[in-house]
Amino acid sequence: MSTPDNHGKKAPQFAAFKPLTTVQNTNDCCCDGACSSTPTLSENVSGTRYSWKVSGMDCAACARKVENAVRQLAGVNQVQVLFATEKLVVDADNDIRAQVESAVQKAGYSLRDEQASDEPQESRLKENLPLITLIVMMAVSWGLEQ
């Protein structure tokens, strides 16, 4: 096997390469799947837990804006916005759903009930319309051929 022609230039020479070993700190983010899990809400918070889906968030800064808007309300014990799932979770001493909805709307976002479906259900006819059209066209084609 020959070396490539470097047009009279010397090939670079490197000293011996010895990789360094590192010790991974168990508190690091990427240790034991810590990055893949979402932070959990404290279970010892008193009061009632409410949750909504937030529409209109584009980035983590939007989630922080919603959190800060709700956190300023009186009676709120804990607030968490999960940006990936667009979920707002609020722990409060009393029923503050109306105040939370108002604060989020003032921040420029809209709330919907967590149990509400994201999309309206399409009718079965509309869902299967392409397949029905294909079957009808095949039947017409077969009839014209006879």
Give the DSSP letter of residue 68: H
Instruction: Give me the pLDDT at residue 121, please.
Output: 62
Judge contact between 31 and 61, C-beta under 8 A: no
Whether residue 138 is predicted with pLDDT greater than 90 in this model: the reply is: yes
- CA nearest 50: which of 75, 27, 33? 75
Alpha helices (H) in 4-96, listed in sequence order: 60-71
pTM recorded for the entire structure:
0.51
Instruction: Give me the pLDDT at residue 7, please.
Output: 73
3-class DSSP state of 80: strand
Instruction: Name the pLDDT band for 25 (thresholds 50, 70, 90).
Output: low
Question: Tokens 């022609």 map to which residue?
Answer: 5
Whether residue 43 is predicted with pLDDT greater than 60 in this model: the reply is: no
Greater model confidence, 129 or 117: 129
Instruction: Give me the pLDDT at residue 67, please.
Output: 92
Domains, the chain, in order of start with CATH, read: 48-113 (3.30.70.100)
Q: Could you give the angle at the alpha carbon of 22 between the alpha carbons of 16 and 24, nearest 5°?
A: 160
The whole-number average pLDDT for the span 106-116 is 82
